[in-house]
């Protein structure tokens, strides 16, 4: 295209951007004015509340972030063209000015190729700087022109320095990612991807896509994103709001549980509590509370006395047991059936139907309650777990042939707390209590659950999520090579089984968008030692630098390296074994360099000191790894941890060490 045409085209696009921004502002003002008058027009307080919530959500959805472009692409068809952006923008007549990236037409922006143009003649990508349109790039699919990952604008976007929290990738979603993002709501999928292949990005964009397509349904049931820790959750917390999705629950597994964690287990006890056999132990413990009735029941009712034989009571209990209801529901079912038997006797004798009050009175009567307490006793989830861990005999009865005597001894508290309430539950205990809760009552299920860093979930934690996605689907994201928990998964099929989605497909992602090729090559040297079968990744990034250095004074070398890193744009992280982190932070402070911690949403300083245990899922432009040998030595799966740590770098990686490097490096 001649330069002059380019200029006029750019002028035209800039004018369209300005007009779209103005239109979005009008939409937002309209929503705000509705919000203000909502109070007056709504019929009652409840309606006002509902309307108010819907409208304030709408206002939030229509927020315009001046630093990100309202649209990033354009599709030209034979008879029309469409700008593709983060949300729908319409002019006052309701005509589309920008199409939401999730709309059906927008799909072609990500998927059209020369071989399958889907009616697209030209695909245009826009280059932006500080919210201003600076350039564009056209692919004339109708003339056989296609750039793929060689697109200049895609490359610039991928190589843009990172600052602050994670951002969305709507402008540059790749075809293999788009296929996952737009998978059906009914489909559960598991994505195995090497570091930086966009698993997290895919999971979050899928959540946004599903919310767009199934708004009402998912608003009712909810969408949940599960991440490994708060640092990770704050890092990803801005992505969905930037896409206009403000109502997604983001939580760690432990935060999903009702039990406050105040204790710790020795590692081998924790590992045993996370073993899937514990689910069966708990199931048996609960089933073991049921007793077959042996005595008849006699209930006085004014001048009458009703009698139910032991045989009839046995039938009631047996029937309810076979229905496999949640335990508490089963207890109420038994109560209702016993009252039903009393009611029939009363009707036969009195010739009329007793009212609600009578039914309630009978249900609460002493003989009925005593019978229930004997044959189907009430139990709380923490009470059940407390009993198992406090009473070796109860444990032995439930764990017979499932757990060895040594294992049972490992579970039993040496000094049992007096009550469940007084117990300082550990993280693993909280999972057991949740398992018990799932047996006692039915927990509400989310419509869709995205689970990130899923390789670290224990079988029992998978079951925590299974209970919360029983009637929904899941997106499981992870990398077996990055498993650092003692119970880390080695086979996705098994995790999926514990998650209750055994038929989900396992899909690999192999193109790396974060880690430069030289750094990938270094990290890949660890792979053979990690004992997992994963497809290797291929980096899109040819830029990047790697520097491995023996130094004599680690803190001094770290300070010098940070100073050098600050000469470049972007974020800087110092990653070291947990025990070293505070010392390095102090050394940096001593040199006048302020640092942030990994869990700050808007990090106040450009340099973050990250304990190796918190690095998972995060990324920084310049990463300084201090003393890899100590990172490896700090935990049983230390090599896996080092693999995670080495793959956090977007542009440059420096490795500083005094001790020899771990053997595989």
Ligand X SMILES: Nc1ncnc2c1ncn2[C@@H]1O[C@H](COP(=O)(O)OP(=O)(O)OP(=O)(O)O)[C@@H](O)[C@H]1O
Q: Residue positions in the annotated binding site for ATP?
A: 193-200
Residues in 170-189 at the binding interface with ligand X, rule: CB under 6 A: 172-174, 177
Q: Does residue 619 belong to the site contacting ligand X (CB under 6 A)?
A: yes
Beta-sheet strand order (sheet of 189-193): 249-251, 223-226, 448-451, 473-478, 189-193, 505-509
Residue 629 beta carbon to ligand X: minimum distance, rounded to whole angstroms? 22
Q: Catalogue the long-range contacts made by 150-156 (C-beta closer than 8 Å, 24 or more residues apart).
A: 151/125, 152/127, 153/125, 153/126, 153/127, 154/125, 155/540, 156/127
Name the DSSP letter for residue 596: B
Alpha helices, DSSP H, located in 42-122: 45-61, 107-111
Contacts of 474 (CB under 8 A, 6+ apart): 188, 189, 448, 449, 450, 451, 465, 499, 501, 504
Task: Name beta bridge partners: 75.
Answer: 82, 123
Q: Which C-beta is closer to ligand X: that of 230 or that of 361?
A: 230
Candidate residues 62, 153, 201, 462; the one interacting with ligand X per rule CB under 6 A: 201
- Cβ atoms of 287 and 322 within 8 Å: the answer is no
**Minimal distance, residue 3 CB to ligand X, in Å:** 29
Phi, psi of 560 (to 5 degrees): -65, -40
Q: How far is the CB of 383 from ligand X (least distance, A)?
A: 39
- DSSP label at 227? -
Q: Note whether 197 binds ligand X by CB under 6 A.
A: yes
Residue choice 73, 85, 196, 638 for contact with ligand X (CB under 6 A)? 196
Size of the site for ligand X (CB under 6 A): 22
Nearer to ligand X, 180 or 218 (CB): 180
Smallest gap from residue 397 Cβ to ligand X (A) = 44
**Nearer to ligand X among residue 312 and residue 546 (C-beta):** 546
- Nearest 5°: CA angle at 637, between 634 and 640? 105
Contact 630, 579 (CB under 8 A): yes
Give min distance, CB of 511 to ligand X, in A.
8
Task: With CA atoms as reference, report the closest residue to 193 among 630, 578, 515.
Answer: 515
365 binds ligand X per the rule CB under 6 A: no
Regarding 662 and contact with ligand X (CB under 6 A), the answer is: no
Find, among 381, 382, 413, 380, the residue nearest to 395 by Cα: 413
* Backbone phi, psi, residue 385, to 5°: -70, -40
* Phi, psi (rounded to 5 degrees) for 624: -115, 110
Of the pair 139, 157, the CB lying nearest ligand X is at 157
Consecutive H or E run containing 99? strand 96-100
* 48 in Cβ contact with 38 (< 8 Å): yes
Give min distance, CB of 514 to ligand X, in A: 4
Q: Which is nearer to ligand X, 197 or 473 (CB)?
A: 197
Q: Which is nearer to ligand X, 10 or 517 (CB)?
A: 517
In the complex with ligand X, which residue's Cβ is closer, 182 or 514? 514
> In whole angstroms, how close is the CB of 392 to ligand X at the nearest point?
43
SS (H, E, C) 432-458: HHHHHHHHHCCCCCCCEEEECCHHHCC
- Determine how many CB atoms are found less than 10 A away from the CB of residue 378: 13
**479 sits near ligand X (criterion: CB under 6 A):** yes
293 binds ligand X per the rule CB under 6 A: no
Q: Candidates 30-38, 197-205, 296-304, 365-373 — which segment interacts with ligand X by CB under 6 A?
A: 197-205
**What is the C-alpha separation between 449 and 291, in angstroms, rounded?**
38
Nearer to ligand X, 195 or 381 (CB): 195
* Interatomic CA distance for residues 35 and 216, integer angstroms: 20
Residue 269 interacts with ligand X (CB under 6 A): yes or no: no
Candidate segments 129-137, 196-204, 209-217, 419-427, binder of ligand X by CB under 6 A:
196-204
Stretch that binds ligand X, among 55-63, 120-128, 192-200, 491-499 (CB under 6 A): 192-200
The window from 118-126, 198-206, 287-295, 299-307 that contacts ligand X (CB under 6 A) reads 198-206
114-173 binders of ligand X (CB under 6 A): 157-158, 169, 172-173
Q: Which is nearer to ligand X, 269 or 455 (CB)?
A: 455
Q: Does 227 bind ligand X (CB under 6 A)?
A: no
> Is the CB of residue 562 less than 8 Å from the CB of residue 593?
yes
What residues form the annotated binding site?
193-200
| 13 lies in the site for ligand X, by CB under 6 A | no
Would you say 459 or 478 has its CB closer to ligand X? 478
**Least spacing, CB of residue 510 vs ligand X, in Å:** 11
Hey, how many other C-beta atoms are within 10 angstroms of the C-beta on 360? 11
Under the binding rule (CB under 6 A), the answer on residue 408 touching ligand X is no
Cβ 540 to ligand X, closest distance in Å? 9
Contact 430, 254 (CB under 8 A): yes
Residue nearest to ligand X (CB): 198
Q: Which of 195, 367, 555, 638 lies at the binding interface for ligand X (CB under 6 A)?
A: 195
**Does the footprint of ligand X cover residue 617 (CB under 6 A)?**
yes
Among the listed residues 331, 514, 640, 657, the single contact to ligand X using CB under 6 A: 514
Q: Identify the residue whose tokens are 């890899």.
A: 628
Write the CB contacts of 378 (distance below 8 Å, at least 6 apart in sequence): 328, 331, 372
> Closer to ligand X at the Cβ: 93 or 150?
150
Of 199-207, 212-220, 294-302, 496-504, the window that binds ligand X (rule: CB under 6 A) is: 199-207
For ligand X, the binding residues (CB under 6 A) are 157-158, 169, 172-174, 177, 193, 195-201, 479, 482, 513-514, 617, 619, 647
């Amino acid at each position: 295209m001649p330069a002059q045409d380019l200029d006029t085209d750019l002028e035209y696009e800039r004018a369209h951007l300005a007009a779209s921004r103005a239109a979005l502002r009008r939409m937002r003002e309209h929503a705000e004015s509705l919000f203000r008058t909502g109070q007056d027009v709504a019929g009652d307080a409840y309606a006002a509340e509902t309307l108010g919530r819907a409208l304030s959500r709408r206002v939030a959805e229509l927020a315009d972030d001046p630093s990100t472009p309202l649209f990033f692409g354009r599709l030209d068809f034979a008879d029309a063209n469409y700008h593709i952006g983060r949300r729908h923008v319409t002019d006052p007549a309701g005509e589309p000015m920008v199409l939401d990236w999730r709309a059906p037409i927008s799909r072609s922006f990500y998927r059209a190729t020369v071989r399958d143009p889907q009616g697209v003649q030209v695909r245009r990508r826009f280059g932006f700087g500080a919210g201003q349109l600076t350039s564009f790039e056209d692919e004339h699919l109708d003339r056989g022109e296609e750039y793929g990952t060689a697109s200049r604008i895609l490359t610039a976007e991928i190589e843009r320095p990172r600052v602050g929290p994670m951002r969305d990738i709507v402008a540059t979603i790749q075809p293999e990612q788009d296929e996952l993002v737009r998978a059906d709501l009914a489909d559960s999928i598991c994505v195995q991807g090497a570091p930086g292949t966009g698993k997290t990005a895919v999971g979050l964009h899928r959540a946004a896509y599903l919310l767009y397509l199934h708004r009402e349904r998912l608003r009712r049931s909810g969408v949940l994103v599960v991440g490994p820790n708060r640092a990770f959750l704050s890092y990803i917390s801005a992505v969905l709001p930037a896409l206009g999705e403000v109502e997604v629950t983001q939580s760690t597994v432990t935060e999903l549980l009702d039990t406050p964690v105040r204790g710790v287990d020795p590692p081998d006890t924790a590992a045993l509590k996370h073993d899937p056999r514990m689910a069966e132990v708990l199931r048996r413990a609960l089933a073991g509370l049921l007793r077959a009735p042996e005595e008849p029941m006699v209930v006085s009712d004014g001048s009458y006395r009703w009698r139910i034989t032991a045989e009839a009571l046995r039938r009631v209990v047996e029937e309810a047991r076979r229905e496999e209801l949640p335990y508490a529901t089963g207890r109420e079912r038994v109560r209702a059936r016993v009252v039903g038997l009393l009611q029939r006797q009363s009707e036969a004798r009195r010739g009329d139907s007793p009212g609600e009050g009578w039914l309630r009175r009978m249900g609460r009567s002493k003989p009925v309650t005593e019978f229930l307490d004997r044959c189907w006793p009430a139990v709380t989830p923490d009470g059940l777990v407390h009993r198992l861990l406090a009473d070796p005999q109860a444990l032995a009865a439930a764990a017979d042939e499932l757990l060895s005597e040594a294992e049972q001894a490992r579970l039993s508290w040496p000094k049992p707390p007096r009550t469940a309430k007084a117990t300082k539950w550990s993280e693993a205990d909280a999972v057991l209590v949740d398992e018990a809760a799932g047996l006692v009552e039915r927990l509400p299920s989310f419509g869709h659950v995205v689970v990130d860093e899923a390789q670290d979930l224990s079988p029992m934690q998978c079951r925590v999520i299974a209970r919360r996605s029983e009637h929904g689907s899941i997106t499981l994201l992870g990398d077996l090579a990055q498993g650092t928990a003692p119970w880390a998964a080695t086979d996705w099929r098994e995790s999926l089984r514990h998650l209750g989605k055994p038929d989900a497909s396992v899909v690999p992602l192999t193109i790396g968008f974060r880690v430069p090729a030289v750094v990938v090559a270094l990290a890949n040297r660890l792979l053979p030692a990690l004992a997992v079968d994963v497809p290797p990744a291929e980096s899109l990034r040819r830029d990047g630098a790697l520097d491995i250095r023996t130094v004599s004074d680690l803190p001094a070398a770290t300070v010098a390296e940070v100073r050098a890193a600050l000469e470049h744009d972007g974020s800087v992280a110092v990653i070291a074994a947990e025990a070293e982190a505070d010392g390095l932070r102090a050394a940096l402070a001593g040199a006048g360099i302020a640092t942030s911690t990994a869990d700050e949403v808007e990090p106040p300083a450009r340099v973050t000191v990250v304990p190796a245990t918190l690095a998972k899922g995060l990324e920084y432009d310049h990463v300084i790894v201090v003393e890899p040998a100590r990172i490896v030595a700090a935990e049983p799966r230390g090599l896996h941890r080092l693999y995670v740590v080495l793959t956090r770098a977007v542009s440059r990686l420096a490795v500083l060490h005094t001790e020899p490097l771990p053997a595989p490096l």
